[in-house]
Amino acid sequence: MPKKLILLVEDNPDDEFLTKDALRSGGLAHEVVVARDGAEAVQWIFTEEESNPAVRTPDLVLLDLKLPKMSGFDVLERIRSDARTVGLPVVILTSSSEQQDIKRSYAIGANSYVRKPVNFAEFVRAVQALGVYWLTVNEPLEGDN
């Protein structure tokens, strides 16, 4: 299976480390790029490949909601508003269990909403399950990514 690209949008260095470690330890040795705020995530996703050949559309976005500069909601709205990324899998990976956050995320196009477990082992299992499903089981839209 060719390596896929995961865009992890996370401002907490500890959660970044844990997520990357969980993917690696679960045998998901895919490339992980980190954006530490919402504006950086949008810039990464919408940089034209012609202007920077090192950039490509991610195969999966793991998106926190509470981010500096631009919220996860705003990032998701921007992703869903562009025909090039409307089918890009976006999983909300956040500490919020607020029903209003869950409803809003799905209303604006999240593919999945996962609350970050507090327990380390549960967090690792959740991230590994997300990676396996979205990168190996799920069939993306043709022409996307």
Average pLDDT over the chain reads 85
The 10s digit of each residue's pLDDT in 6-16 is 899 999 998 89
Instruction: Give the residue among 76, 126, 116, 71 at the shortest CA–CA distance from 93.
Output: 116
What pLDDT score was predicted for residue 71? 96
- Cβ neighbours around 68 below 10 Å, total: 11
Query: What is the pLDDT, as a whole number, of residue 138?
Result: 77
* The CA-based dihedral angle spanning residues 92, 4, 87, 100, taken in that order and rounded to the nearest 10 degrees: 0
Strand partners, 9: 35, 63
Phi, psi of 31 (to 5 degrees): -75, 130
User: 27-73, pLDDT tens digit by residue?
Assistant: 666 788 999 999 999 998 888 655 555 567 888 899 999 999 999 99
User: Residue 145: is its pLDDT beyond 50?
Assistant: no
User: How do 60-63 and 31-35 pair as beta strands?
Assistant: unpaired
Pick from 119, 100, 11, 97: which is nearest to 62 by CA? 11
Query: pTM (2 decimals)?
Result: 0.86
Q: Spell out the domain ranges in the chain.
A: 5-137
**Nearest Cα to Cα of residue 6 among 86, 110, 88, 78:** 88
Please name the fold of domain 5-137: Rossmann fold (3.40.50)
